[in-house]
Amino acid sequence: MRGLEGKVAFVTGAASGIGRATAVRLGEERARVAAADLNADGAAATASAIGPEAVGLGLDITDLSSVQAAVAEAERLLGPIEILVNCAGWDRVEPFLDSSEETWDRIIDVNLKGVIRCTRSVLDGMISRRSGRIVNVSSDAGRVGSSGEVVYSGAKAGIIGFSKGVARETARHGLRVNVVCPGPTDTPLMAATSEANPRLGEALVKAIPFRRLAKPEEIAAAIAFLASDDASFITGQTLSVSGGLTMV
């Protein structure tokens, strides 16, 4: 894809799943990648798989100072961040009536406020350079709602609204901000969900017109497109990658 070679990309949630696949794909497109994750060893393993133009960094997206430190370290090692991909997320599948405020707070803190913290931490530099691409990973749960994931659905919907707002505020500075909404994807989080509720996992697969889960690499391809120059006139948009599960 055009416009990715030599660009510095900061990818959260890069130790596994969609985040890892995205970091690897951007590396294949010859971007310089900072693979960041709470699991610092996993982030380092992802960077090692990409090659010498990548670094692995530990960060806690629920802590603004940790995010700022990781961003500063990435820029020290690789150069100014030109691409941000917010992939990190967390969920606990259970009926809303059985959930606790502690769970609500963590879901919102990781999935929504984590995106806000990471975005805010790179914006000043992107605006000063009048160049930047941000791709936030939401979920089709945020577009249509999901039983057993009520607060998660709300947090992921919040990512969509937040991204559109940032896209409007920063377009005059030359920035692009877009959202990818995966459907059910073959990730560790999905595996945990299916293990906790096998019937739910089976029902999700049956509901997808393609009758299979997405591969993380298929989500990563859409993210790479939105980060590339091939999407130079696209901002404030939400793209579902769900095998036809949602058609809205």
Task: Point out which residues pair with 241 in neighbouring strands.
Answer: 182
The gap from C-alpha 220 to its chain's centroid, in whole angstroms, comes to 9
152 an active-site residue?
yes
User: What CA–CA distance (Å, rounded) separates 61 from 48?
Assistant: 22
- Please, which residues bridge with residue 24 across strands? none
Report phi then psi at 138, rounded to 5.
-100, -130
Read off the tokens for 53.
Answer: 């133009």
| Alpha-carbon torsion, ordered 108, 20, 230, 74, to 10 deg | 80
Catalytic pick from 152, 155, 157, 184? Answer: 152
Q: Which amino acid is at 166?
A: V
Q: Which is it for the CA torsion 220, 224, 230, 231, positive or negative?
A: positive
The residue type of 66 is: S
CA distances from 88 to 39, 175, 184, 207, 216 (A): 11, 22, 16, 25, 13
- Quick one: which of 130, 125, 152 has its CA closest to 141? 152
Annotated catalytic residues are 152
